[in-house]
Amino acid sequence: MAGKSVPERLSWAVETLDLVPSDRVLEIGCGRGVAAVLVLDRLKEGSFTAIDRSDKAVEAAIRRNSENVAARKASFLVAALENAEFADDSFDKIFSVNVNLFWARSSKRELTALRRWLAPGGSLHLFWEPPGAGQAREIAARVVPFMEEHGFKTTTLTGQTSTSAGLICILARLF
Ligand SMILES: C[S@@+](CC[C@H](N)C(=O)[O-])C[C@H]1O[C@@H](n2cnc3c(N)ncnc32)[C@H](O)[C@@H]1O
């Protein structure tokens, strides 16, 4: 994919995931599958799974990643997080970019599911590119205490793009 067509937030997010080739990765709210391309480039024996509640988004993501789907290295499912089901310990890294998780509303059920799906030593990465620096602080102020109350240890990372107020990642690990 030409570098130009990849939004800076997605390049930063995938760099920040610090992937290793064997990682089993879940993306929530994959949209049209642009981050998926970047992740799949970094995986060898690992695998990539994505969910999005929009069937149009999933169709586009499958088209964009058709070779990896055919090779069964990637799968894209139409599902909302609140209805998704995966086996325990299925993923080493779970991430989302610009998805309204855990800040407009705090769902213990969804966080419990994510916790269950993460393998020991796994990590959860929630990325946002908010319209202003104030919103980044607001997101962190809501999401961090919620995650910590539910057994995650969090680190808040920030990044820059050439065009926006900045990027934020809440990185959460179990302890
Ligand atoms: C703003 S778009 C971001 C897409 C992509 N991550 C990006 O940064 O370009 C949010 C995407 O998340 C999906 N989404 C929102 N809430 C969701 C949920 N609870 N479960 C699954 N997908 C969700 C939407 O359908 C949409 O495709």
Continuous segment of H or E residues that includes residue 35: helix 34-42
**Ligand 1 centroid – CA 53 distance (Å):** 7
The reported pTM is 0.96
Which residues have any ligand 1 atom within 6 Å of their CB? 28-29, 31, 51-54, 57, 80-82, 97-100
> What is 107-158 written as a DSSP string?
-HHHHHHHHHHEEEEEEEEEEE--SSHHHHHHHHHHHHHHHHHTTEEEEEEE
The 10s digit of each residue's pLDDT in 109-155 is 999 999 999 999 999 999 999 988 789 899 999 999 999 999 999 99
Residue 25 Cα, ligand 1 centroid: separation in angstroms?
A: 16
β-pairing, 91-97 vs 152-159, is unpaired
Instruction: State the fold for domain 3-80+89-174.
Output: Rossmann fold (3.40.50)
User: Residue ranges of the domains in the chain?
Assistant: 3-80+89-174
SS3 49: strand
